[in-house]
Chain A
Amino acid sequence: MRQFSLEIVTPDGVMWQGDAESLLVRTHDGDVEILAGHADYLASVATGRARIITGGTERFASTQGGFLSVTREGVKLVAITFEFAENIDLERAKRARERAEEAISRAKNDRDIVLAKAKLKRAISRINVAEMK
């Protein structure tokens, strides 16, 4: 399969760089899969699962926020967090889910609820990705 150059960047640094056959990410408009030769494209990224196919193997990751940009030169995924399934600490994610659920039940105002819900969503996304591997 044809490959394209892919770069995944987070505030903690470049998480992945190399050639890939496919990148699947969840945008705010739904899941989008990028293959080699894709037209120029811009989208904002939501919280969810991402999949890279490189050298015939699939790798899954949990990603949150940021931006996807496709140009002739290559594909850039700029995410706030990007964690490969094998790097996710499942126990920690489960604890984070419990804490977020607790925070929602204790929340006093809308702000707290929004923040806690975002945390819950991230935790669930991590758990889902980690349990798939």
Chain B
Amino acid sequence: MAATSMNDIKARMKSVKSTMQITKAMELVATSKLRKAKESVERSRPFHEILRAAIDEIESSNEIKDSVWSMPTEGKRTLFIVIAGDRGLAGGYNSNVFKTCKSAAEGTEPLYLPVGKKALEYYRHRGVEIFSDELDSVGEVSVGDSLAIAERICEGYKAGAYDKVILVYTRFVSMMSEIPTTEVVLPLEPANESAPLRTSDPIMGGDPEEILEAIIPDYVGGVINSAVREALASEMAARRTAMNSANKNAEEMIDTLMLRYNRARQALITQEITEIVSGSEAL
């Protein structure tokens, strides 16, 4: 009896150990990818920050008052750009993004642009309206892809297919924390006029409206591009944390199993001794 339970415990320990090997490897991979992803987040930030400042400037410095891009809208029909991961096993990373998006989408007529395999699967499964399914791998979204999709988003916005564009992604705060965030991309939020760069209106190289028209898709592309980088870094950080706690749990489990194994072994020995002693007494 004791021998079979010992074998069971041994088998259990073996399976926990082999799972731990996998989770350990995944943690290492996530850690090294995280380092690269973090650098790429930092590199991608200045681009859309400077473009944003330039857009504010054009909008505030001249006659453009009723630009399509900055007129406040009801936000009835809304395009949600949802950036999630390509894979699971990252704790609540994917489901937190979907939850955040769900609460943001309440009371609107949503249209979805999923980025990443998990996001695409999630929205396909729910049978909701999908804007485009071409960004099915978040790890492979290039700068060019971001700009191409931004061009289409801006076209649709101008044509009135939707009157609000909201980006849902996970912001990378630090190695230990990432926060699911929503960000309004279009219409543009009112300019922040606290820090004017110039004393007088600048000379415009061309019609201000045309300049705006030319750079807004670039700006939107820049925003998407850096959100994708942030999401990638967050995914790696979330996976690293999840795998780290999986490792800890596995270690704990192995410890308890070891204890149980030793107890069973001890019980078997005691039983054998008792049997031998009582056997010799009988002789």
Say yes or no: A29 contacts B206, CB within 8 Å.
yes
Say yes or no: B200 contacts A115, CB within 8 Å.
no
A1-51 contacts to B, CB under 8 A, are 9-14, 27-29, 32, 39-44
How many of chain A's residues touch chain B, expressed as a range? 20 to 34
Contact of B214 among A28, A32, A40 (CB under 8 A): A28
Inside 8 A of B200's CB, which chain A residues have their CB? 40
Q: Is the interface of B mostly helix, strand, loop or mixed?
A: helix
B136 proximal to A (CB < 8 A): no
Say yes or no: A42 contacts B44, CB within 8 Å.
no
- Report if A42-B225 is in contact (Cβ < 8 Å); known contacts: A27-B205, A29-B206: no
Binary interface encoding of chain B residues 171-214 relative to chain A, with 1 for a CB under 8 A from any of its CBs, else 0: 00000000000000000000000000111111111100011001
A74: min CB distance to chain B, Å: 11
Say yes or no: A71 contacts B146, CB within 8 Å.
no
A9 vs B222: C-alpha distance when bound (angstroms): 11
A25 vs B257: C-alpha distance when bound (angstroms): 70
A46: min CB distance to chain B, Å: 9
Say yes or no: A11 contacts B205, CB within 8 Å.
no
B68 proximal to A (CB < 8 A): no
B259 proximal to A (CB < 8 A): no
Inside 8 A of B222's CB, which chain A residues have their CB? 11
Inside 8 A of B221's CB, which chain A residues have their CB? 11, 80
B148 proximal to A (CB < 8 A): yes
Number of B interface residues in the complex (CB < 8 A): 33
Q: Which one of B146, B199, B210, B215 has the highest number of Cβ atoms from chain A below 10 Å of its Cβ? A: B215
Binary interface encoding of chain A residues 63-83 relative to chain B, with 1 for a CB under 8 A from any of its CBs, else 0: 001111111110010101100
A32 vs B197: C-alpha distance when bound (angstroms): 22
Inside 8 A of B51's CB, which chain A residues have their CB? 66-67, 78
Contact of A67 among B203, B210, B215, B225 (CB under 8 A): B215
A84: min CB distance to chain B, Å: 17
Say yes or no: B211 contacts A43, CB within 8 Å.
yes
A80 vs B265: C-alpha distance when bound (angstroms): 68
Can you spell out 16 A-B residue pairs with CB atoms less than 8 angstroms apart?
A9-B46, A11-B143, A13-B46, A28-B205, A41-B202, A42-B203, A42-B204, A42-B205, A67-B50, A67-B211, A67-B218, A69-B50, A69-B57, A78-B47, A78-B50, A80-B218
Q: Which residues of B contact A (CB under 8 A)?
A: 43-44, 46-48, 50-51, 54, 57-58, 143, 146-148, 197-206, 210-211, 214-215, 218, 221-222, 225-226
Q: Which residues of A contact B (CB under 8 A)?
A: 9-14, 27-29, 32, 39-44, 65-73, 76, 78, 80-81, 115
